[in-house]
Chain A
Amino acid sequence: MRQEITWKIGGIAGAGIKVTGDAFARACTRAGWYVFDYSEYPSLIRGGHNSYHVRAGVEPVYSTVREADVLVALNAKAIRNHLFEINPGGAVIFDSQAVKPDEVASHRSDISYMDVPLAKLATQAGGQELMANSVALGASWAVFKGPLEIIQNVLADGFKSKGEVVIKSNQAAAQAGYEYVKARLPKLKLAELKPQLGTGRILLPGNEALALGALANGLNFFAGYPMTPSTSIFHFMAQHGLGRGVIFKQTEDEISAVNMAIGAAYAGARSMTATSGGGFSLMVEALGLAGITETPLVIVNSQRPGPATGLPTWTEQADLRFLLHAAQGEFPRIVLAPGDVEECFRYGAEALNYAEQYQTPVLILLDKYLSESQMAVEPFNQKLITVDRGKLLTRADAEKENEFRRYQETPDGISKRSRPGLANTLFIANSDEHNDYGYSEESAENRRLMMDKRFRKLQTAEQNLSRPVLHGPDKADVTLVGWGSTLGPMLDALKRLTELNISANILRPVILEPFPSDFIKTILRQAKTTVLVENNSQGQLGGLIREKTGFEIGYQLLKYDGRPFFPDEIAAGVKSFVS
């Protein structure tokens, strides 16, 4: 039996699903277990159906799974939707006052139906009915035999802003639920995880990790417009940039946001904006502006299913081709796709450096799955990041300049960069094609020179940016090929494949532009069976690999229903290809 536990809570929006789910995930993290959580919610504020899944183990867990050992069902719909996801030997916790007995009809004889009076226990403990969730938290924790103090700790921290009375009421509710279940615990088939306190891990989603990386690495200007699932980056910058020297502006639209980010960088700030596919569409023209004026620009696109409004609260990775090619004309860009929470921190920081080193747009691809799922990780090592502003002149540097040319020809294509206010270094950042001062210039010779200069920067970048990652053994029966958030499911699939006597590794580019053709070609040529794993319908990375290397990946696993891959799906798919 796998040494992991899985838990899910389901109910209507507005019922505190997110808060309760996060509390359970945090309790597991503080118990010293590896954690990956995942939530589903529709695009509305009240009603509908929300669910929150937590997976915890004594070994690293990298993705979510479909099944749950324990389901907490706050309403009948939760039972209808998730009853058949419960592992045999597991349990469903429900309150028969809220969920009528016939809705809990015993469709399954291989699980336990635990009727826990959540609302009554909440009010008896001196709280309100809303605290039924804390009762459920305590009840769930008792099923997994976790130490009660951990839950109480999490509630104390979680409700700190609401004051002592609220903390105490919720703790009393949790204790009531815990004791109720402990006294009536049925025989279940669950892994028993030993708590290991003091591991010091943190639990956070990709968006917050990325925002932290940027903040740590000297970001000082953020302009943006809210759009799911990028909004938590925007909120983080607004709330935590305050008092840390970050100018933040919510703009009237995305076009303003991206043009502000460019204007800010032109004036000497280290800037960023974040959005999703629809907002990125509006920002497209400005990509070319940053490209031709050679102004640093960082845009985060947290993808969701499109096209148009699509599925706002679900996940997909179908904007790869879009980001690689968007905007009229040709200019260099850097496109990054972090694969997990740690890479979000690292590339949130690095992207600012790349943008200033190469003086060109840097685009970061996330998706709802990576942006919003939380993973337990070691606190990020801040010592690994450094501020690099490329060839930006300081005030003192500018004093020494003579006959400064902003777009001077150089061997690496990168010119020295000045900013308004500095002496001796006047220039024009010109959306027209221009000469080395920045004056508009239409001659054929100048145009060729400038295009070549700008693309030389891409060649320079290619030499300096990191290689794709090969996870797992160098030699394997199967090579999975993917990018972004499919990393997690692929990593968990490796273990399952090993159990099926199939050895596998994962080839995963992080930098998609400039594309690491040579490395990819080498690995794929040596691979035996290759399987593309992507959350889109057109196999975009597969097409890109074929275009750049001539290599056609053998098999494809494509999922585009708005849900992330489950490791079992990948393992089953691979098994069907090789047998």
Chain B
Amino acid sequence: MKTSIDKTTKPFDSPVQPTWCPGCGNFGIWVSLKNALIQLGLTPEQVVIVYGIGCSGNMTNTVRAYGFHALHGRAVPVAEAIKLVNHNLAVIVVAGDGDAYGEGLNHFINACRVNHDITYLVHDNRSYSLTTGQTSPTSDLGYVSKSTPAGSPDQPLNPLSLALAAGASFISRGFSGEPKHLENLITQAVQHRGFSLVDVLQPCVTFNKINTVKWFSERVYKLAASSEIDQAWTMARATDKLPIGVIYQDSRPAYHERIEVLKDGPLADQPVELRNVADLLERFR
């Protein structure tokens, strides 16, 4: 189903429409993301979105930019490498809470501590939706689903405090029901020097009957500013009320800024040629 695209005012609109359920929070996040990219003055050629597997991963096809639809839980390492090889690109990871905090948890933690310059846009609906409704790492305690018919016995994972503990340099939370706020958050995240987490609270209208738009709206409130680390811990751990905005931000070099060879420009733009290894051969005499 191809429609002609207006490449001038809607450069990131692809001819392919999403397949999400009507009312899905993904629609709002999708629009916020595209608007943020326009706000940032980026062209589709400069953007790479690495998608995980899940409903949010089905955003693949619907954004006009370079894309990589990765394996479940493994978008982060792909994105990290893309950024290392061409640091002039804006590299954004789009994944769900299952992909990011379940299958891909090890990579998430390491991305936080290593400070790779990528933006992690996590679609957090506290459910495994594409696989038809299992519990996720962020599901509430007692959450009833196909895999936890007696209610989940697990303490939910808190991605914000985990990110803080892992040393992330930009930690934020958004809400699909506050699209303009989210758009600004994404803009800041992409501009941030280093790893930026945007955990986006959203409903799953089909499978999650607990954490609905109404449920979130009763709890979220906008932060005026980010906090120093001690206060940020408290903000991150809050569960009765859910602050949205930048929870914590600090400034340190992004991982790629320390790589000597990149001082001359992106690796991808440097010539690939034969290297004379005669000096190394000498070591083996």
Question: A residues bordering B, Cβ < 8 Å?
Answer: 26, 29-30, 157, 200-204, 208, 212, 215-218, 220-221, 223, 240, 242-247, 249, 251-253, 255-257, 259-264, 266-271, 285-286, 289, 293, 379-380, 382, 385-387, 389, 395, 419-423, 426-432, 438-440
B70 and A431 form a contact (CB under 8 A):
yes
Chain B residues with CB under 8 Å of A30's CB are: 285
Contact A260 B275, beta carbon cutoff 8 Å: no
CB distance from A220 to the nearest CB of B (A): 6
Please state if A269 and B284 are interface contacts (CB–CB under 8 Å): no
Residue in contact with A419 in the complex, picked from B69, B107, B268, B278, CB distance below 8 Å: B268
Near A by CB (< 8 A), chain B positions 79-133 give: 79-82, 84-86, 88-89, 106-107, 109-110
Return the chain B residue nearest A425 by Cβ. Answer: B45
Listed A/B pairs (30) with beta-carbon separation below 8 Å: A203-B284, A203-B285, A204-B284, A220-B272, A221-B85, A245-B261, A247-B259, A247-B262, A252-B107, A256-B107, A263-B78, A263-B85, A267-B48, A267-B86, A268-B86, A271-B81, A293-B68, A419-B86, A420-B48, A421-B66, A421-B89, A422-B45, A427-B67, A430-B60, A430-B67, A431-B69, A438-B67, A439-B16, A440-B60, A440-B69
Q: Is the CB of B281 within 8 A of A212?
A: yes
List residues of chain B with CB within 8 A of the CB of A245: 261, 267, 270, 275
Q: Check: B266 CB closer than 8 A to any chain A CB.
A: yes
Chain A residues with Cβ below 8 Å from B50 are 263
User: B268, A285: Cβ atoms under 8 Å?
Assistant: no
**B85, A247: Cβ atoms closer than 8 Å:** yes
Whether A247 and B261, one on each chain, are in contact in the complex, defined by CB atoms closer than 8 angstroms, is yes
Indicate whether B137 reaches chain A with its CB closer than 8 angstroms.
no
Given contacts A240-B280, A428-B68, A430-B69, 4 further A-B pairs with CB under 8 A are: A202-B285, A246-B261, A255-B107, A421-B45
CA distance A245 to B71 in the complex (A): 29
CB distance from A205 to the nearest CB of B (A): 9
Interchain CB contact under 8 A, B274 and A385: yes
Known: A30-B285, A260-B80. A269 touches B268 (CB 8 A): yes
List of B residues within 8 angstroms of A426 by Cβ: 44-45, 64-66
Q: Quick check: B275 and A420 within 8 Å, CB to CB?
A: no
Q: Which residue of B lies closest to A268 (CB)?
A: B268
> Complex formed: what's the CA distance from A247 to B266 in Å?
11
What residues of A have a CB within 8 angstroms of the CB of B276 in the complex? 216, 382
- Count A-B pairs with CB separation below 8 Å: 195
Which residue in chain B gives the minimum CB-CB distance to A422?
B45
**Contact of A387 with B69 in the complex, beta carbons under 8 Å:** no
A347 CB, min distance to chain B CBs, angstroms: 16
Decide if B66 touches A427 in the complex (CB within 8 Å).
yes
Q: Nearest 6 pairs between A and B by C-beta?
A: A263-B81, A263-B78, A268-B268, A428-B67, A267-B85, A259-B77
Chain A residues near B272: list those with CB within 8 A.
Answer: 218, 220, 270, 387, 389
Cross-chain contact A421 with B88 (CB below 8 angstroms):
yes
Is A259 a contact partner of B78 (Cβ separation < 8 A)? yes
Nearest residue, chain B, Cβ from A285: B71
Q: Compute how far the CA of A212 lies from the CA of B277 in the bound complex, rounded to whole angstroms.
A: 7
- Taking Cβ atoms with an 8 Å cutoff, the residues of B that contact A are 16, 44-48, 50, 53, 58, 60-61, 64-71, 74, 76-82, 84-86, 88-89, 106-107, 109-110, 259-262, 266-270, 272-278, 280-281, 284-285
Decide: B274 and A423 in contact? CB cutoff 8 A: no
User: Once the chains bind, are B81 and A261 in contact (CB under 8 Å)?
Assistant: yes
Complex: A203 Cα to B47 Cα, angstroms = 47
Given contacts A217-B274, A421-B89, contact A259 B284 (CB under 8 A): no
Q: How far is the CA of A255 from the CA of B273 in the complex (A)?
A: 29
Please tell me if the beta carbons of B274 and A216 are within 8 angstroms of each other in the complex.
yes
Chain B residues with Cβ below 8 Å from A269 are 81, 85, 267-268
Residues in chain A near residue B268, CB distance under 8 A: 267-269, 419-421
Q: Bound complex: CA of A358 vs CA of B109, how far in Å?
A: 35
Interfacial chain A residues near B267, Cβ < 8 Å = 220-221, 245, 247, 268-269
Chain A residues with Cβ below 8 Å from B66 are 420-421, 426-428
| Least distance between A534 CB and chain B CB atoms (Å) | 30
A249 to B110, CA, bound (A): 12
Is A431 touching B71 in the complex (CB atoms < 8 A)? yes
What's the least CB distance linking A455 to chain B, in Å?
A: 22
- Known contacts A252-B106, A421-B86; decide if A216 and B275 are in contact (CB<8 Å): yes
B65 to chain A, nearest CB (A): 7
What chain B residues lie within 8 Å of A271 (beta carbons)? 81
Which residues of chain A come closer than 8 Å to B80, judged between CB atoms?
A: 260, 263
Contact indicator B85/A255 (Cβ below 8 Å): no
- Across the interface, which residues of B come within 8 angstroms of A215, CB to CB? 275, 277, 280
Instruction: Please give, as numbers and ranges, the residues of chain A lying within 8 Å of B109 by CB-CB distance.
Output: 252
Contact B84 A247 (CB under 8 A): yes
B61 touches A440 (CB 8 A): yes
Q: Known contacts being A29-B285, A286-B71, A429-B68, is A382 close to B82, with CB within 8 Å?
A: no
Write the chain B residue with the least CB distance to A288: B71
A216-B275, A387-B274, A419-B268 as given contacts; A428 in contact with B81, CB under 8 Å: no
Given contacts A252-B110, A261-B81, A289 and B71 within 8 Å (CB-CB): yes
